[in-house]
Amino acid sequence: MKILVTGANGFLGRHVVAALLARGHRVRALVRPAARLEGLRWGNPVDIFRADVRSGMDLAPAFDGVDVLVHLAASPAGGEDGQFATAVTGTEKLLGAMARGSCKRLVLASSFSLYDWSRIRGTLDETAPLEEAPDLYERDGYTIAKSWQERVTRRFAEQHGWDLTVLRPGYIWGRDHGAIAAMGQKVGRIHLVIGPLARAPLTHVENCADFFAVAVEHPNARGETFNVVDSEGERVWTYLGAHLLGTRQRGLRIPVPWRLAFLLVRLGYATVFRRNPRLPHLLVPCRFEARLKPLKYSNRRAAELLGWRPPLDFRECLARTYGSPPAPPVIALGTVGP
């Protein structure tokens, strides 16, 4: 198959491209016009299509000969306007171009942030409730943008009869991306570990990319939604300890009970801070829960429908993230489009 991958030079995108190439697929990588491609570890030829999905340029040529779109492009950093423009406006323009071609298969990278964490108890799986109408006072701009992106994508898929698969990864981590929000609050060398025995919904970037490649190929993935996690979740205390050891940082971990911390956040938000979208995430109750609430996680649905198991266990993931760097890359790139 020939597969168009947006956000192909991003942290997840470069690994998704590599996973698809390893399975014998042909890949067209859609990247921004000024994107730098040095250091990408792609050993097979890749077509490069340079375009900004937010612009008014014609994106239809990107879909020439394409069988599947893997849509990863998003802006987790930056202001709310930029995040919305990429995730929503850009997605509308991209899918509008797709509708003018023959491609009928789409795999979307959504997000764990869409869930309504306040209503979830026990295990978070694909049946968990979503946030119905997230706003900037309760959630952040990225959550709002990803929520709208998934809605827009589902609307296009239904309207045009496309085969859509939605994947919602947890915390994606890997080399140079080991720090995650679930580790708590750092103050100098002190790490306040909120809910130290809580589990974090981790997916190593190589495992996550493998899941995307399986979802592209497997017929049972069509029309389905999957959470992407490697296991029920590693303990936050354990993960932070491994991160500090792997990055050779000196730090003191101090456990803080989750219920106590959450009570203080709720009291402060109700009496002192009130509804302020500019507050740090840990001072807003909904955002606090979305990062730190003690839950379990499951990839059972992926195992049952797709037979998927993460190819790397936690020990191997640590070695790939903090061990010796990989050998210098061999890059083979082509160029198509503008």
How does DSSP assign 88-128, residue by residue? IIHHHHHHHHHHTSS--EEEEE--GGGB-GGG--SEE-TTS
Confidence of residue 136 (pLDDT cuts 50, 70, 90): low
Percent helix, strand, coil in the chain, to 5, is 40, 20, 40
Count of domains observed in the chain: 1
Q: Rounded distance, CA 291 to CA 138, Å?
A: 13
Residue 327: its pLDDT value, please?
54
Rounded average pLDDT over 210-225 = 98
Q: Reply yes or no on whether the pLDDT at 166 is more than 60.
A: yes
Confidence of residue 1 (pLDDT cuts 50, 70, 90): very high
Residue 251: its pLDDT value, please?
87
List the single range of 51-60, 74-83, 163-172, 238-247 with lowest mean pLDDT.
Answer: 74-83
Confidence of residue 294 (pLDDT cuts 50, 70, 90): very high
290 lies in some domain: no
Q: Which residues contact 153 (CB under 8 A, 6 or more apart)?
A: 71, 91, 95, 106, 108, 164, 166
Q: Reply yes or no on whether the pLDDT at 150 is more than 90.
A: yes
What is the pTM (predicted TM-score) of this model? 0.91
Q: Reply yes or no on whether the pLDDT at 149 is more than 50.
A: yes
Confidence of residue 43 (pLDDT cuts 50, 70, 90): low
Rounded average pLDDT over 84-101 = 90
Q: Reply yes or no on whether the pLDDT at 4 is more than 90.
A: yes
**Nearest to residue 130, comparing CAs of 250, 225, 51?**
225
Question: What CATH code is carried by the domain that includes residue 112?
Answer: 3.40.50.720
Residue 238: its pLDDT value, please?
96
Confidence of residue 330 (pLDDT cuts 50, 70, 90): very low
114 with 148: CB under 8 angstroms? no
195 lies in some domain: no
168 with 111: CB under 8 angstroms? yes
180 lies in some domain: no
Q: Reply yes or no on whether the pLDDT at 78 is more than 80.
A: no
Q: Rounded distance, CA 192 to CA 252, Å?
A: 9
Confidence of residue 232 (pLDDT cuts 50, 70, 90): very high
13 lies in some domain: yes
238 lies in some domain: no
276 lies in some domain: no
191 lies in some domain: no
- Supply the range of the domain harboring residue 314: 2-173+201-232+295-336
Confidence of residue 337 (pLDDT cuts 50, 70, 90): low
Residue 335: its pLDDT value, please?
52
Rounded average pLDDT over 140-149 = 87
269 lies in some domain: no
